[in-house]
Chains A and B, each alone.
Chain A
Amino acid sequence: MRRRPGIAGLKSAAAARDQYRLVGENVARIRADVMKEQLETFRTQLEDFARKHKNDIRKNPTFRSQFHEMCAKVGVDPLASNKGFWAELLGIGDFYYELGVQIVDICLSTRSHNGGLINLQELCSLLCQRRKVAREAVTEDDCLRAISKLKVLGSGFEVISVGKKKLVRSVPTELNKDHNEILEVAQAQGYVTIEELEKRLSWSSGRAIDALETLLKEGLAMIDDGHRDGKRRYWFPCVASIFSAPGSDGFRSL
């Protein structure tokens, strides 16, 4: 635009700028409205779905985990806040917070015998026993979700995989690769010997003794010397099946 001299020229330039701005604002508003509308539709659809299947989500663990999967795909985390409409609608936040509290409780009460490492299966069965009244089935998937929420607290709750089993760690002890391998070998019988580690993992006895001593000190292992061959057995309550038998209540009273 050729700039014309004089006050009239300045005025018309300003008027043109205003026009452009208005048009721009309009376009932006229309776009935002469309977006809002779409979001609103999406939200109502999701809400409708959730409302329709509320009972299924609450009662049916498989359905619940599928619902979570779907939410994850569209980038919604029903557990992100306890104040959102999810919580009001489903009480789903409360469900997992409740689970979380119970999980912490179980981990603490069994810590004295397992040193803060518990088999996920055992945790789950203890959880089910405790929730008998609630009559809502709890799966390992639910446990994992609740535990992942506990991480926020920075209390060191973590799920580690050892071989085929999943263990829940509730103490800040860092387990290194050697310790994990020992736990994996121990899964078979609930215990290991130094000889067994030397043979199975081709370790030197020093390496085996060192790792086992650490696990002993952390309270994750217990020794058993009652054998004629003089071979000390290192037992691991967290993987020994004796403690994960259903209906086990041996340590509840402690």
Chain B
Amino acid sequence: MQRLGNFKLPQFFNFPPFFTLQPVKETREKQVQVWKQLLLDYCRSQKIFVIGLEEDFPLFSNPVIENFEKYFNEKLCDGLLGSLSHEAREVFLSALISEGHAEWMDKDHRKCLMLWFRLQEWADYILNFVKDNGLQDGVMTIEEMRSGTETHGTADTLHATFSIIQELAGIDRGLLLRVLRLLEQKGKATIFKGTSADDDGVKFSV
């Protein structure tokens, strides 16, 4: 099985037609479905929060298909062989967006924020994190949360806490702020400005 770093790629990734948008409705739906899953799984495992549509992204092209072709045809192949057209990239990401699993970050659709947890799911995650760690009424800085090194909690909850911290570690700062603001609106958190951006903090009142 082909791998990308520590990520195990699905079988379809080596099948050339999956890189061309399919004209038949049912086939297209299936194609979009497997791509959505792959994009979310990969981004989550690699903690990639932003995909640039015009940039190189490991999933947008498969060198194996191209090499295979070169090997048999002994001539240089088109750049689109085994890689997604701009249209296809937009179709797959739009499908994620329609489910709340992604957002365009600009009007030109050049950057896309990946939300393997939807905003509300992230909010629930953080609330659990706060409860499990007895951080109610406690104060944390934004950077502290992002660093993922916080290890409050008893031995019993440590394991659960650890996985939540793992999920939070390295979270996109803009995303984290939006999730916290969502909690603020519901009266579960208060964000306050520090002397510098690094000192911005949050107080939970669950």
A interface residues with partner B (beta carbon < 8 Å)? 112-113, 115, 191, 216-217, 219, 222-228, 233, 235, 237, 240, 242-243, 247-251, 254
Contacts and interface: CB of A to CB of B under 8 A. Distances in A.
B30 A112 contact: yes
A218 B187 CA distance: 54
A229 to B, nearest CB: 8
A233 B33 CA distance: 22
Given A222-B18, A235-B17, A242-B15, A227 B81 contact: yes
Interface in B1-19: 1, 10-12, 14-19
B15 A223 contact: no
A216 B83 CA distance: 21
B80 interface: yes
B78 A226 contact: yes
Given A216-B24, A222-B22, A243-B11, A233 B17 contact: yes
Instruction: Give the interface size bracket for B toward A.
Output: 20 to 34
A217 B24 contact: yes
Contacts of A250: 10-12
Interface in B25-60: 26-27, 30-31, 33-34
A226 B20 contact: yes
Interface of B: 1, 10-12, 14-20, 22-24, 26-27, 30-31, 33-34, 77-78, 80-83
A237 B31 CA distance: 13
Nearest to B83: A226
B77 A228 contact: yes
Contact of B80 (A113, A226, A243, A247): A226
Contacts of A242: 11, 14-15
A113 B10 contact: no
Contact of A227 (B12, B30, B31, B77): B77
Contact of A113 (B1, B30, B77, B81): B30
A238 B11 CA distance: 14
A152 to B, nearest CB: 29
Given A217-B24, A223-B22, A224-B17, A248 B11 contact: yes
A163 to B, nearest CB: 21
Nearest to A254: B34
Contacts of B82: 226
A251 B27 contact: no
A216 B20 CA distance: 14
Nearest to B11: A250
B15 A237 contact: yes
Contacts of B20: 222-226
Given A113-B30, A216-B24, A250-B11, A228 B16 contact: no
Contacts of B27: 115, 216, 219, 222
